[in-house]
A and B are shown apart, each in its own frame.
Chain A
Amino acid sequence: MADRIFAYSSSPHVKNPRTTKHIMIDVCIALAPACIMGIVYFGYMAALLLVVSVLSAVASEFIYLLITGKKFKQIIQGFDYTSCVTGLLFAMSIGVQTPIYVPIIGNAFAIIVVKMIFGGTGKNLVNPAVTGRIFAFISFTSVMASGWVAPSIGAILGGSSINPLTGATVLTDGFATPTVASLSNLDLLLGTGLAGCIGETCKIALLIGGVYLVVRKVISPTVPLIYIAVTGLFTVCLCGFDFAEFLPSILSGGLILGAVFMATDYTTSPNTFVGNIVYAVMLGLITAGLRVSSGKEVVSFAILIMNLIVPLIDKFIIPRPFGYKKAKKGGAN
């Protein structure tokens, strides 16, 4: 018995079995309803884009790790599904008319440049999916921002079944113009009759995913709720206190996808409760402000901007330790 060797480590010796991998799988599950609705609305091309996007994201990560000298077995063991989430989010935020090479290039950029070069999971400064999307959008504007396809299911409550706008999800070509109201709020919520990105149109599916994440305690509802509310309210303010703008503004574009799945990304959001509130409020202000002034969909840009400000928020907003009393001069530093 004396020679037996026992495991040795620092306390605690029992731990919550949940790991990063489990969390990322939960996120993938939460994204599933919106993906399925995307496929229902936009057909097999949507499914193809989703699959290609995920595969290219995972492949990019593997190739990077292989080039940097990791063994294939190690990579498999260390694989944590974050690139699957990136791939899914990327495909969900592009239109079904997008050529197949765009997700491949976009994901390669998102994974290799935005994530892996900075040190892999958890070390990236900005959200890979958001940045990858912006990269692709700027690089391939002509093919990504035109030729929007309307979903197979038309608007339920009248309105034209083909969206008169050629932009992504109502917003891109003219926000705060009368055409916004050409679809009812219910249709905006369901995404019926609404041309747009694969995963962005069906808001109800995204919200179901969000509720799943909250129930599984993957995210706290603070950021999405505040972000969505502030965006809506600030839009109302900017449009001359026209409360009819409230619902269309929050149900349009990629706001819900961004608020639930992109703004809540652990790595690129603040670590404290107060910090998260500041972050979400600023996100809402930037989104609404830029939307009204530019007339374009700006959720991903707003998230990118705020991602870069997060380190500052985290630097200045630190919770007070239990029993903290104002430090005497020179005590704290």
Chain B
Amino acid sequence: MSIKKGKNYPYGIHVPDRKSLTEDKPIESMLAPEKVYVCMSQHIGAPAIPCVAVGDVVKKGVMVGQASGVISANVFASVSGTVVGIEDIVNALGQKLTYVVIENNHDESQTLFEDMTDFSPASLIERIRLAGIVGLGGAGFPTAVKLSPKSQLDVLIINGAECEPYLNCDYRLMLERTDDIYKGIKYAAAALKINRIIVGIEANKPQAIKAFERFDDLEVVILKKQYPMGSEKHLIYCTTGRKVPCGKMPFDVGVCVQNIKTMIACYEAIDLNKPLTETVITVSGNGVKEPKNLKVPLGTPFNTLVEYCGGLSEQTMKLVAGGPMMGKALVGLNQFTRKTDSGLLCLQREEISLQSATNCINCGMCAKNCPMRLMPMYIESFTLAGDYKNAERYGAMNCIECGSCAFNCPAKRALVQSISLAKVKIKEMKKNG
């Protein structure tokens, strides 16, 4: 066992964490809803292809969507019941995606994989791929691909920073399912043939740090409470001192970063033979009557979650899928739990910022706080002027969209929005030569 303090990284911000709303609430298993909407595109890459037909009776754990390529993932029925539709639905994020709609028949039995006999790296990775596991921290990159790097890596980092305000799902899991996480970590390390495992946890979670202390073969690194500590590049720097070069990936510096929930999913797939059919999500914010940490079947409509938590208050002004810093605003509750969801926030007037933008006063706070050391004010003004070449010259492509710049901007400018636009345009520009 070893505990040490993480390296200091001077650029970042302090965000009021508002975690106390759900910090001490154990994860509750929510009853499966009457209908689930299982999305075929819950990951980065090609959408899964539905492999059931309307009218089929499926058991929980049966594959309903098959991965369509290497960067893709299988999708499973999260409840037993009848497939009543395969529909294209425009969700509250404004995306038109294919959903398999299953009407619950409350059959509790579940289809499982066969017991594993061979625990070689290749078969572990195969099981993880089969179970449809993707990075559950939000990116949704297929874990099997991440666990089969081109070159040998030497460090596995587990991201327990959870630096987003409000969210507590990783924290609760670290407390309640420490052993399961540990087993998952060991499988991931075995798949990567890595011995050195680092668990990075922010200093504001002493109980979680305590929970992981007892494992002799894990290095626990206590990270400063700072946003965005959970960003891959900064986590790697603060735990190992390695800098991921611009435009490169963690595996370029010999590191693989995995999320807490992903590790539990790996454990369940390998030891319990369960495919990925549920996730843990924090429903929080002052706009919901009883904020909770919930374990829910994938595809559960958000309005069911909100109703389970006592419903929305009249003053709710904003709905956010994910954390308040990087999450996406929802136009309504017409959205369905995905693998990558970690939070549903119902925010009231006093919690959000609604000020309109004023002139940039060149105060430099965005540049001072940018964890990637960019100059957001210039990228923004170039973007607004349509000069994407210069936006790129100022490093727009390095932006991790953490929102540190816009958080502190006294002129309340939509810096992240402009930079994301610049990124899209630069990519287009490169594609067209």
B411 with A20: CB separation less than 8 A: yes
The residue that B410 contacts in the complex, of A12, A13, A19, with Cβ under 8 A, is: A19
Min C-beta distance of A299 to chain B, whole Å? 21
Asked if residues B393 and A271 are in contact (CB atoms below 8 Å), the reply is no
The number of chain A residues with a CB under 8 A from chain B is 46
Instruction: Tell me the smallest distance from the CB of A78 to a CB of chain B, in Å.
Output: 7
Which of chain A's residues has its CB closest to B367's CB? A271
Given A8-B329, A323-B244: A14 touches B360 (CB 8 Å cut-off): no
Q: Which residues of B contact A68 (CB under 8 A)?
A: none
Q: With A271-B377, A321-B246 in contact, do A266 and B363 touch (Cβ < 8 Å)?
A: yes
- Pick out which of these stretches binds chain B: A41-49, A117-125, A197-205, A247-255: A117-125
For A80, A273, A318, the residue with the greatest tally of chain B CB atoms inside 10 Å of its CB is A318
Complex: chain B residue closest to A22, CB-CB? B410
- Whether the pair B375, A271 counts as a contact (CB closer than 8 A) is yes
Q: In the complex the two chains form, is A23's CB within 8 Å of B377's CB?
A: no
Query: Nearest residue in B to A271 (C-beta to C-beta)?
Result: B364
B95 within 8 A of A: no
Flag if A318 contacts B412 (CB, 8 Å): no
* Contacts between the two chains (Cβ within 8 Å), count: 169
| A7, B318: Cβ atoms closer than 8 Å | yes
Separation in Å of the A271 CB from the closest CB of chain B? Answer: 4
B375-A6 in contact (CB<8A): no
| Residue in B245, B351, B362, B375 whose beta carbon sits within 8 Å of that of A323 in the complex | B245
Known: A120-B359, A123-B359, A333-B393. A20 touches B410 (CB 8 A): yes
Nearest A residue to B397, CB-CB: A321
**Would A121 and B359 count as touching, CB distance under 8 A?**
yes
A329: chain B residues at CB < 8 Å are none
B327 located at the interface, meaning its Cβ lies under 8 Å from any Cβ of chain A in the complex? yes
Question: What is the CB-to-nearest-CB distance from B93 to chain A, in angstroms, rounded to a whole number?
Answer: 10
B360 x A13 contact (CB < 8 A) = no
Contact residues, B78-134 vs A (CB, 8 A): none
Interface residues of B in 308-352 (CB under 8 A from A): 312, 316-320, 324-334, 345, 347, 351-352
Given contacts A20-B410, A271-B377, A323-B244, whether A7 and B352 have CB atoms under 8 Å apart is: yes
Q: Are B361 and A324 in contact (CB under 8 A)?
A: no
B355 an interface residue at 8 Å Cβ cutoff? yes
Please report A residues at the B interface, Cβ cutoff 8 Å: 1-2, 4-20, 22-23, 78, 80, 119-123, 266-273, 318-325, 332-333
Residues of B at under 8 Å CB distance from A?
Answer: 11, 15-16, 165, 233-234, 237, 243-246, 248, 303, 312, 316-320, 324-334, 345, 347, 351-355, 358-364, 367-368, 371-375, 377, 393-395, 398, 401, 403, 406-412, 414, 416-417, 420
Chosen A-B contacts, 28 in total, with CB atoms closer than 8 Å, are A1-B312, A2-B334, A5-B331, A6-B316, A6-B318, A6-B330, A9-B318, A9-B329, A10-B416, A10-B420, A11-B324, A11-B328, A13-B329, A13-B352, A14-B165, A15-B353, A16-B410, A23-B363, A120-B359, A122-B360, A122-B362, A267-B362, A271-B377, A272-B375, A319-B374, A322-B237, A323-B245, A324-B373
